[in-house]
Amino acid sequence: MDTPAGAPEPPAEKKSGIGLPSWKSVIEFLTAMADLRRTVDGLKESNKSLRADVARLQRQVDEQAGQLKVLLGFVQNSLDDQIDRRASRAAAELFSQLISLRAEEPEDEDSRKGKR
């Protein structure tokens, strides 16, 4: 291949058969591996901490769910009691109205009999 005048010469190709890496690339690789190892260790510690936080939060959620269950039971019992009281009052009022109607009927029948 001819190169034009003034153009830089292409670098000569290395023709070594084994192609061993240079010390620089070996050191860079080992440094990268050490950095990766530190990163993985840091992630493991972070994961452990996050798992502890999740367990703590789960305990809080369970505790609050238990409290809500107690509160719901209390509200339900209170509503049931109110419904029972209102139903009893309504039944008592209905019964008293029926008694008052029964008490009025004989008077009406007596007055009708007297008119005949």
Q: What is the mean pLDDT of each run of 10 residues along the chain (116 residues)?
A: 55 60 92 96 96 97 96 94 95 91 67 56
Query: Do 14 and 8 meet the contact criterion of CB atoms below 8 Å apart?
Result: no
* DSSP code, position 9: P
Residue type present at position 108: D
Return the pLDDT at 16: 52
Instruction: Give the pLDDT confidence score for residue 19 in this predicted structure.
Output: 76
Q: Which helix (H) or strand (E) holds 6?
A: none
pLDDT value, residue 57 = 97
pTM surpassing 0.75? no
User: What is the residue type of 110?
Assistant: D
Q: Give the span between the Cα atoms of 43 and 63, in whole angstroms.
A: 30
**CA dist., res. 79 & res. 72, Å (int):** 10
Tell me the residue ranges of DSSP E strands in 1-116. none
